[in-house]
Amino acid sequence: MQNPRVKVCSTKFSRRLRVVKTLNALCVKNMKKIVILISLIFFLLIGISVYSQEAVPSPPILSQSQQNKTKPQQTKTNYKERGSDDIPLVIKAIEPHESQYKEGNHTKNTNENTTTNWLLVIFNGLLAVFTFFLVCYNKRMWEATKESLKLTKDSTDLAREEFITSQPPKLKIHNVVLKDSSVIGEKSKIIFDITNIGGNTAHIIERNITFVKLDPRPNILPYSGDYPDLHRPIPLERGRSSTECLPVDVKIIENIHRLSMVGQVDTSDYYFFGYIDYFDDFNASWRTAFCRRYNIKTKRFTKVEDEHYEYNSY
C-alpha cells in the first residue's frame, strides 16, 4: 500500500522538474543569441571608434629658411617706375599664419572628438543594457541551478520514502504461552513475542492486551487497557523481536483448572486479545490487532479468523 503523501510529493516533483527543464532549455537557447549579438555590436562599435580617431594630416609648416626662399626678391626701385614693362606690378600673396592652421585643425579635431564621444556613450549604454540582461540571466540560471539541486535532493528523499512506505513496519504476535505458576506468591502469566516483519522500524507507543472470558463474543472487543503504559516510544527494528508478558488473574487460572478437571475442553470463552499502536520513520501511524482463543486440552492459543479481530491498519 503506497502512502498518499508519497503520491502527492511525486506529482509535485514531476511538475517542478518539467518547469526547471523548460527554463534551462530556454536560457541556454537565448544565451547563445545574446552572446553573439553582444559580440557583433562590440566589434562594430570598436571599429567605428578606431576609424573616427585616425589622425588627419595637417598642412606642413614651413621653416624660416623655406619662407625666405619663397619670398620674392625685392629690389630697390622707384615707385614711379612700377607697372612698366621693365618693372611689372607685383601683387604679394600673403600666406595665412600658422595659428590659423592650428585653429582650423583644432575645430576639426573638436568635431571629430565629439562624434567619437557620442559613439562611445552609445556603445557604453548598449553595453550596460546587455550587461543588465546578462546579470538577470545569470541570476535566473543560478536560481534554476539551485532549484535543480533541490529537486535532486527531493527526488532522492522521495525515492527513499517511497521505498520505505512500500515496505511499512508490520508487527506479528506469536509464541503465546500460558505459564501457570505453581510457586506460592508468584502470579501466572502469558508470555508472547512481538516481531517486526515489516520493512522499517516500528516505534511502539501503546499496547493494550487483555486475557478474559467472553461469553458471548462481542462484535467489538472490550479492550481493558490494563497493560502497563509506555512513557516513551519503544523502537523495534525490522527483523527484531521483543518478549512480553501479561499477568493473569488468579480467578481465571482457577476456573481453567476446574474446567480441566471436569473434562471441559471447549474453552472458546477465554480469549487473549488486544492491539499495538506504533508509527514508522515518517510518522505514519499503524495498528496491529490480534485475538487468540485458549484451548485447555492442547494448552495452546489459536488464531481467531475474523477481520474485525485480526488486522493491520494504516
CATH number at residue 300: 2.60.40
Residue that finishes a domain, picked among 123, 138, 165: 165
Per-residue pLDDT band for 303 (boundaries 50, 70, 90) equals very high
Q: State mean pLDDT over 238-242.
A: 93
**Which of 118, 141, 165 corresponds to the end of one domain?**
165
Note whether residue 71 is domain-resident.
Answer: no
Q: Is the pLDDT of residue 97 over 90?
A: no
**Mean pLDDT of the 135-156 span:** 83
Residues 224, 105: one domain?
Answer: no
Q: Looking at the structure, do residues 129 and 33 belong to the same domain, yes or no?
A: yes
More confident residue, 3 or 162: 162
Q: Does residue 147 form part of some domain?
A: yes
For 288-298, how does the pLDDT look when each residue is reduced to its tens digit (9 = 90+)?
A: 999 999 988 88
Compute CA 212 distance to the chain's CA centroid, rounded to the nearest angstrom: 54
152-163 pLDDT, tens digit per residue, is: 888 888 887 777
Q: What is the DSSP secondary structure assignment for residue 79, as one 8-state letter?
A: G
Residues 192 and 286 in one domain: yes
Residues 32 and 177 in one domain: no
For residue 51, being part of any structural domain is answered with yes
CB of 68 within 8 A of CB of 74? no
How do residues 170-213 score in pLDDT, each as one tens digit? 999 999 999 887 666 678 899 999 999 998 899 999 999 999 98
pLDDT at res. 1: 47
pLDDT exceeds 80 at position 81: no
In a domain, 281, yes or no: yes
Mean pLDDT of the 282-288 span:
89
Residue 12 structural domain: 4-55+101-165
Shared domain check, 19 and 139 = yes
Is residue 276 within a helix (H) or strand (E), and if so which, with residue range? Answer: strand 270-279
User: CA distances (Å), 47 to each of 50, 54, 109, in order?
Assistant: 5, 11, 19
State yes or no: pLDDT of 40 exceeds 80: no
Determine if residue 214 is left, alpha or beta; phi over 0 gives left, psi from -120 to 50 gives alpha, anything else beta.
Answer: beta
Total domains present in the chain: 2
- The answer to the question of residue 64 being in a domain is no
Which of 165, 180, 207 is the last residue before a domain boundary? 165
Confirm whether 186 is domain-assigned. yes
Query: What is the pLDDT averaged over residues 104-110?
Result: 61
Same domain, 158 and 9: yes
Max Cα separation, the chain?
182
**Cβ–Cβ under 8 Å, residues 227 and 207:** yes
- Share the mean pLDDT of the chain: 75
Verify that 224 and 303 share a domain, yes or no: yes
Does 309 score more than 80 pLDDT? yes
Residue 43 lies in a domain: yes
Measured at the CA of 222, the angle between CA 314 and CA 274, to 5 degrees, comes to 45
In terms of average pLDDT, the best of 25-34, 130-139, 196-205, 211-220 is 196-205
Asked if residue 228 and residue 156 are part of one domain, the reply reads no
Q: Same structural domain for residues 203 and 269?
A: yes
15 and 136 fall within a common domain: yes
User: pLDDT at position 170, please?
Assistant: 92
Within 13 Å and on the Cβ side, how many CA atoms surround 142? 6
Say if 83 falls within a structural domain.
no
Question: Are 176 and 155 part of one and the same domain?
Answer: no
pLDDT score for 102? 56
Return the pLDDT at 201: 92
> Average pLDDT in the 224-230 region?
69
Same domain, 182 and 301: yes
